[in-house]
Structure 1
Amino acid sequence: MTPANITNEATIYDETSPLLRTSNANSAEAQIAEKPKPTPLPKGQLAALCAVRLVEPIAFTQLFPYVNEFMSDLHLTDDPSKIGFYSGLVESLFAISQLCSIYHWAKISDVIGRRPVIFVGIFGLAATTIMFGLSKSLAGVLVARCLGGLFSGNVAVIHSVLGEITDSTNQAVAFPIYGLTWPLGSIIGPLIGGTFSHPASKYPEIFGYQFLKDYPYFLPCFIASVIALVGVFLGFLFLDETLPSKRTREKSGSPTNTDGPLSVSKLLSIPIISALALSGFMLSFLGVSFDVVFVLFCYSPIESGGLAFSASQIGYSLATSGAIAAAIQLCIMSYLLRTFDSAKMYNFCMALWPYTFLILPVLNLIARAGLDETTGELGTPAVALLWVGIAFVLMLSKVASLAYSLSMLLTKENAPNAASLGQSNGLIQFAMCLARSFAPFLVSSLFAISAEYNLLGGHLWVAVMVAVSFLGTTISRKIEQNSVKMTG
């Protein structure tokens, strides 16, 4: 069976549709009368799935507060300016390794089931996080992060489980709750890393052990690993197997005749899947680029086109960003999903990215105008206006980032069959991880070159990112076009 046939059959045949068409009035009345009642949300499974999903952002971000200090402690270079190179290498290897394994984990889960893949991945992540905290050389650090990324490739499988435990009647509630896990994890992780690194010197009366003096980064890694094991425990208790073929076989005692998963080439030949993968690449590139360039922009001197923020001010900005993301997911995402078409909303979110980059140089102009030349400090009105502007641009970026949740939903709705949901998620997550693996290096280099050579007044990076953002908007329109073709 070809992908086109699969797509067409999924579009044409619907067991809930009448075989003969009726008048528009009768049809409308029938739709109102037959509107399905919401399926009860599997709260235990959703809670376990969120606990499992929380593991990766915590493990990924807990090292951010101390990674530069860790690299310095390894005495890799005498030049402090080169520490950032090693830190970037450590951070990028995780994403690159995840890229190499993400599709394979999804493919395996379509055969052996979701639960085994999820549990193996989390156990592996817990072990490699401990390994990272015990590392005493660059080689040990890199191996630990590589292995951690390989085990974290099960993220597409976790997305598939969310699609399989929900349906169209309850996904408007489930997806926003699930979407809270990444911003929550990205707040918890740095707090753990910043609070519990070097515990023997910070809290000698509690953690003054020689072991923690010898391994000053073990404790945050250990705490992150314990959280991972708690996720495994909750998953073991509450998370049922959701792979359709396994679930049906367990209930009936015999194998089913459902269609098998499609190959990569066949999945990519389906227009809506290829559009979601390509747009997912652009979405991840823009989202990661904004996160990287925002920190660089805040850190850079005002005369170089930045804001000259301190580390604590940047920390407050990132905490604000996480709080805004959580508030959006919790307060308005459910309403949006119930009210608007997913493909159109995805397109709207992608259309916001150009403006998030365009606003940043405006903030620099505010800082320049409010800078007191005698003291070299910003006046109170300028500081207040800057924080309002920062809150606005962060809010804009987090609304644009709702496209991540919408991408999961659209993948679920447009997978050619139930058996291919895991591989469809894997393919799209692969595209996102590919962008995430090189976007930080590319955009930080572009930012540095723009400032060093004063290209377009140091704002060449703005012009490039706005152009890329508009390209992403153009690509995202293909999702809406192909979605209309399937439902029309």
Structure 2
Amino acid sequence: MEEPLLGRDRQQPELEFPDCPGCQIWRLREKGSPPPLKQLVSLGFVVLCNALPISVLYPFLYFMVRDFHVAKTESDIGFYAGWIGSSFMAGRFFTAVFWGYLADRIGRRPVMVLGIVSVLVFNTLFGVSTSFTMALVTRFCLGSFNGMLGPVKAYASEICSDEHQALGVSVVGTTWGLGLIVGPALGGFLSQPAVKYPNVFHHGSLFARFPYLLQALVVSAIALLGLCMCFTLPETLHKHPKRNISAAEDKQPARKQSILKNWPFLASTTVYCLWSLHDIAYTEIFSLWAVSPRLQGGLSFTSSDVGEVLAISGESLCFAMLVFQLTIFPAVANMLGPIFMTRISAILAIPILCIYPLMSKLENVWLWVVLLTASVLKFVLTTATMTGSFLLINNSVTQEQRGAANGLSLSVVSLFKALGPAGGGSVFAWAQKRQHAAFLPGEKQVCKFVRRA
């Protein structure tokens, strides 16, 4: 447990080239060197730019689909919302391997830059969608051109020395979790501004015509800042002159094992996929469940109410989690190991999720106390599990394979995340129609069973 799955990076090139960016970073990774805090801050902001457009749509997706008038009944809205939510991950599934391969060839930073540019373009187009088809296509294109998460995870391990690797990966996990909290909060507060803030956004204005444009512009503004910070990051990929390749190869170790035959990598990717399937389905269903009527087992929340829940739970935990991840977490991860940490987080999530159907019976203060407590605990467990998964994947391959490995894991996990919203939304819509059924029942039958017990 104390040793990494591969034995750390032992492929340090014996021939160092002064002009090689990878060699320059390698010399800074010597044991005892301080953590690269400046680069980690910039990298965390890049991760935030990736996470925000993924989760920003969930609080208003129910109302957006309703405005498209494609659902025949109100209970069918979850079905169409699930397809829009899945389209991003479907696009990333087809292209993530390519972006990971490209990151191993041209470098990590160029792929990050292209990913942020895709956010600027396609997320803005999604904000002006006027039909279900346009929303579906723009989200698919956003996922197809946004392949920076794999290179980001590889980059986090490559800029840190062995003793700070847990810190680097935890920064990625923390900012990713923060983006999944801040994104829905922005979507909840900034969608339909002409309805929520009529004194500021008047009827007939641009934001009244496109009620979901404001949130897209705010996310794009954050992405523009992230693009500027991305250019300050040094490249970590080794780039040696071609004339020296034969000499370097003579001193290289034996031929690398294929990642498709690397059992630690495959097992780590499986854990990552299963948890991501669960987490993305939870993110989608939570918002759909909260805004659905109480007669159908929901909470009758507005999109602002959902944004408020996510904002309060995120803000109350954001600072504490950031301090924990930067100080205590690396020591805990090194002591317990990522495998044990991931197991505990997954087990503790089960009883927390089981109490959600019962919340529709609560009112006023008690509802908010229980809901916020469950949301905070879920966020903590998600952050710990994702960070553990990142460590397991990065430690199971060499640097030369890290971009491709993270790209492959990202591609596979995108398929699971694509199935999550579509499957979760369909099951949610089906369950709402089966309030009194004995199999896969709705909230009424669940509460009846609990009272009998």
Report the TM-score, using the length of structure 1 for normalisation.
Answer: 0.72
Give 1:90's aligned amino acid: I
Q: Does 1:278 align with 2:270?
A: yes
Q: Does 1:335 align with 2:328?
A: yes
CA apart distance, 1:156: 0.4
- Tell me the C-alpha RMSD between the 2 structures: 3.9
**Separation in 1 of the partners of 2:263 and 2:378?**
29
**Separation in 2 of the partners of 1:365 and 1:202?**
30
Q: What SS class does the counterpart of residue 147 from structure 2 fall into? A: helix
Among 437, 441, 449, which residue is 1:458 paired with? 441
CA apart distance, 1:272: 0.6
String of CA shifts for 1:111-152, please: whole Å, max 9, x gaps: 111121111121122111122223333332222111101122
Are the structure 2 counterparts of residues 135 and 290 from structure 1 closer, same or farther at C-alpha, using a change threshold of 3 Å?
closer
**Separation in 2 of the partners of 1:397 and 1:227?**
22
Alignment correspondent of 2:377? 395
Among 261, 269, 280, which residue is 1:269 paired with? 261
Gaps of 5+ in 2: 13-29, 447-453
CA apart distance, 1:96: 0.9
**Separation in 1 of the partners of 2:401 and 2:161?**
17
Q: Does 1:70 align with 2:64?
A: yes
1:96 and 1:437 in contact (8 A); partners too: yes
Alignment correspondent of 1:224? 219
Q: Name the stretch that deviates more: 59-68 or 220-229.
A: 59-68
Alignment correspondent of 1:118? 112
**Separation in 1 of the partners of 2:128 and 2:113?**
23
Q: What SS class does the counterpart of residue 107 from structure 1 fall into? A: helix
String of CA shifts for 1:404-448, please: whole Å, max 9, x gaps: 112222222221x21111111112222322211112333444455
Alignment correspondent of 2:172? 178
Are the structure 2 counterparts of residues 300 and 142 from structure 1 closer, same or farther at C-alpha, using a change threshold of 3 Å?
closer
Are the structure 2 counterparts of residues 193 and 58 from structure 1 closer, same or farther at C-alpha, using a change threshold of 3 Å?
same
Gaps of 5+ in 1: 1-6, 16-35, 372-377, 464-488
**Separation in 2 of the partners of 1:203 and 1:195?**
10
Q: Percent identity?
A: 26
Are the structure 2 counterparts of residues 356 and 303 from structure 1 closer, same or farther at C-alpha, using a change threshold of 3 Å?
farther
Q: What SS class does the counterpart of residue 65 from structure 1 fall into? A: helix
Alignment correspondent of 2:410? 429
Alignment correspondent of 2:449? none
Among 232, 248, 253, which residue is 1:257 paired with? 248
Q: Does 1:102 align with 2:83?
A: no
2:341 and 2:388 in contact (8 A); partners too: no
Q: What SS class does the counterpart of residue 257 from structure 1 fall into? A: helix
**Separation in 2 of the partners of 1:295 and 1:402?**
22
Are the structure 2 counterparts of residues 407 and 362 from structure 1 closer, same or farther at C-alpha, using a change threshold of 3 Å?
closer
**Separation in 1 of the partners of 2:355 and 2:414?**
31
2:191 and 2:215 in contact (8 A); partners too: yes
Among 350, 357, 373, which residue is 1:357 paired with? 350
**Separation in 1 of the partners of 2:195 and 2:100?**
43
Whichever of the two has the greater Rg, that structure is: 1
CA apart distance, 1:174: 3.1
**Separation in 2 of the partners of 1:390 and 1:315?**
12
**Separation in 2 of the partners of 1:454 and 1:366?**
20
Alignment correspondent of 1:145? 139
1:353 and 1:397 in contact (8 A); partners too: no
Give 2:266's aligned amino acid: S
Q: Name the stretch that deviates more: 96-105 or 136-145.
A: 136-145
Give 1:419's aligned amino acid: E
Among 282, 301, 304, which residue is 1:310 paired with? 301
Q: Which structure ranks higher in relative contact order (CA pairs < 8 Å, sequence separation ≥ 6)?
A: 2
